[in-house]
Amino acid sequence: MSGSHDLAVAAARAAAGKQATQIVILDVRDLIGITDYFVIASGTTDRQVRTVAEEIERVLKAEGVRPVRREGQREGRWVLLDFVDFVAHVFRASEREYYDLERLWADAPTVNWEAPAARSG
């Protein structure tokens, strides 16, 4: 796994594994030149925000990828993990509403990151 798309999907799935909510991946490749994707997720408490961010780091470290920059970890209200090819933002609900990245980057298409449901039958 090495492409920015696959890494962003891995980050989204890692966030889901720690019960993050409102997880979205925005494809910003055509809008800005500094990164390919934003992975955005919400946690309900400061502790959960930190836990989700730590899980994203753990999963990507296993793929040989580490963030080049990390911000907000101490406060736990918004953690930013910059992996160069994508940036993960983990917010408390009030901070997510305040920064409203989805509105700011409304022209960015969303990426389907959830595994397809297994077929029964």
Question: What range does the domain containing 26 cover?
Answer: 4-111
Q: Does the residue 97 lie in any domain?
A: yes
Q: Does the residue 117 lie in any domain?
A: no
pLDDT band at 106 (very low <50, low <70, confident <90, very high): very high
Q: Does the residue 120 lie in any domain?
A: no
Residue with the larger pLDDT of the pair 69 and 120: 69
Tens of pLDDT, residue by residue over 23-44, are 999 999 999 989 999 999 999 9
pLDDT band at 116 (very low <50, low <70, confident <90, very high): low
Q: Does the residue 98 lie in any domain?
A: yes
Contacts of 91 (CB under 8 A, 6+ apart): 40, 41, 42, 43, 49, 77, 78, 99
Instruction: Report pLDDT for 53.
Output: 96
Domain total of the chain:
1
Length of the chain: 121
pLDDT band at 83 (very low <50, low <70, confident <90, very high): very high
Whole-number Å distance between alpha carbons of 53 and 73? 8
pTM (2 d.p.): 0.90
Q: Does the residue 46 lie in any domain?
A: yes
The dihedral over CA atoms of 40, 59, 117, 91, expressed in degrees to the nearest 10, equals -20
Whole-number Å distance between alpha carbons of 44 and 22? 11
The domain spanning residue 72 has which CATH number? Answer: 3.30.460.10
Residue with the larger pLDDT of the pair 119 and 92: 92
| Helix axes 46-62 and 4-17, enclosed angle (nearest 10) | 140
Whole-number Å distance between alpha carbons of 70 and 66? 10
